[in-house]
Amino acid sequence: MHVVVVPVGRGSKRRLETQASKRSVFTPKALENILQNRLRQTESIEMLIHYGVLVREQQKGKNHDLTVTEYQVQQETEQLEIVERILDEK
């Protein structure tokens, strides 16, 4: 899904009272609540109404981002496993 949004923040003390501001609108708590919970519930209901299909519940622990270090370790481990398989075949 692609969503085009202009976040509008209100009550700024330094600049205009109303201005485009992603920090004041898209806080981590708001993103989790709106984008993950409400949209998923709405999508599940719509899928059930229109297509008769139940959407699986979101699995915990599966959807996470790796830090740069974790990603590098994962890539090096995969490369090492490939090299070990090649050496074992010989």
Per-residue pLDDT tens for 53-76? 887 776 666 666 778 898 899 999
Whole-structure pTM over 0.75, yes or no? no
pLDDT of residue 78: 93
pLDDT of residue 75: 93
Residue 17 has pLDDT above 90, yes or no: no
Of 11-15, 41-45, 64-68, the least confident? 11-15
DSSP 19-85: EE-HHHH--HHHHIIIIIIIHHHHHHHHHHHHH--PPPPPPTTTS-PPPHHHHHHHHHHHHHHHHHH
Residue 79 has pLDDT above 90, yes or no: yes
Residue 15 corresponds to which tokens in the numbers above?
């600049």
